[in-house]
Structure 1
Amino acid sequence: MTNPWRGEVALVIDGERQCMKLTLGALAELEEALAEPSLVSLVERFESGQFTSRDVLALLGAGLRGGGAQVTQTALAQADIEGGPVAAARAAAELLARAFALDT
């Protein structure tokens, strides 16, 4: 079970429910993978709908590894994601939103 207050997002991959989370290490991995000087530009791309499939895969991979899964980007790129590309993009956007949400 995922806990949104901890920044966790669920996604079903190859028929198995996975818990994703963007930890500090996952965020650093994401910056390096996307060669971004900061994550602000990535957040802006998602907010404006200008993200790429590469962005989605990088976010999901980092989130999966942040959640404890041992998955490579190659395996993720070949995986069956329940709900297809739209569900994958929604989950990636939700990961970003939860990672930077302020507690109220």
Structure 2
Amino acid sequence: MTNPHAGEVALVIEGERRVMKLTLGALAELEAALGADTLVALIERYENGEFATRDVLALLLAGLRGGGWEGSATDLAQADIAGGPIAAAQAAAQLLARAFTLPETTRDGL
């Protein structure tokens, strides 16, 4: 089970359910993978529907690493993801949203 309040998102890779999370270390890895791009630019690309496949792969890899996965970018690029590219892009978008949005129950301190 994933905990959306902890920023977790699930994705099935090679038939195995993986829990992803953008930890601080994973975010730092994501920034490095994107080079000169900022996370704000990445969020804006997602909001405008202008994200690239490399954005999806970088987000998923960072989230998987945050969840404890030890695979490489090559492993992920060659992996079978349940639901295909659409599910991968949706999971990446959820990772961003959950990492940078407060859950409804904590916005008002409840």
Give the structure-2-normalised TM-score: 0.92
Residue 47 (structure 1) aligned with residue 68 (structure 2): no
Q: How does 1:29-48 map to 2 (within 5 A)?
A: 29-48=29-48
Aligned sequence identity (%): 70
Unaligned runs of 5+ in 2: none
SS in structure 1 of the partner of residue 22 of structure 2: coil
SS in structure 2 of the partner of residue 2 of structure 1: coil
**Cα pair distance change 1:50/1:37, threshold 3 Å:** closer
Larger radius of gyration: 2
The Cα offsets for residues 81-102 of structure 1, whole Å up to 9 and x where unpaired, read as: 0000000000000000000012
* 1:37 Cα deviation from its structure 2 partner: 4.6
Query: Which runs of structure 1 show a deviation greater than 3 angstroms over 4 or more consecutive aligned residues?
Result: none
* 1:46 Cα deviation from its structure 2 partner: 0.4
**Residue identity in the other structure for 1:90:** Q
Query: After the TM superposition, which of the residue ranges 56-65 and 29-38 deviates more from structure 2?
Result: 29-38
Unaligned runs of 5+ in 1: none
**Residue identity in the other structure for 2:35:** A
Superposition CA RMSD, Å: 0.8
Number of the residue aligned with 2:78: 78
